[in-house]
Amino acid sequence: MEDVTVVTRASLGGPDDSTDVSRQEIFETEDAIVVQSRVAGGVTTGWHHNGDRHVYGYVVAGHAVLEYGPAGRESVELDAGDFVYVPPHTIRRVVNPTTEEWIIAISFVGSGPPAVSVGGPQSGVE
């Protein structure tokens, strides 16, 4: 029998202030990774997808816009308390239009790399 593991806020330490996007890995198993991601105010992340992984997120604090779809023309707004699911291979980026930090807890479920950077979404139908 395995023990219950707790990761406290204090044990995470502070965010990495040297970057606009900070990811702190909380747990990792063979087919799942849990991270806390922080996106500084006014930042737009690079375009990326998560390969074969399903992505489940819970917005802890702040407001952001997730852009995706053909030519990045689709978007959803994410606020504290919201949950989000992103299917495998969905190319997207996060835009934080506010001055406040956006914080999300993310579970990557499946195999392969948790993030794959790409040049951007296709301009045609995806």
Q: Is residue 79 part of a domain?
A: yes
Q: What is the CATH number of the domain that holds 107?
A: 2.60.120.10
Q: How far apart are CA 35 and CA 105, in angstroms?
A: 6
CA-based nearest residue to 105, from 41, 63, 58: 58
Tell me: the pLDDT tens digits for 49-87?
999 999 999 999 999 999 998 889 999 999 999 999 999
Q: Is residue 9 part of a domain?
A: no
pLDDT-derived band at 123 (thresholds 50, 70, 90) equals low
Q: Is residue 110 part of a domain?
A: yes
The reported pTM is 0.86
Enclosing domain of residue 92: 19-117
Per the structure, how many domains does the chain have? Answer: 1
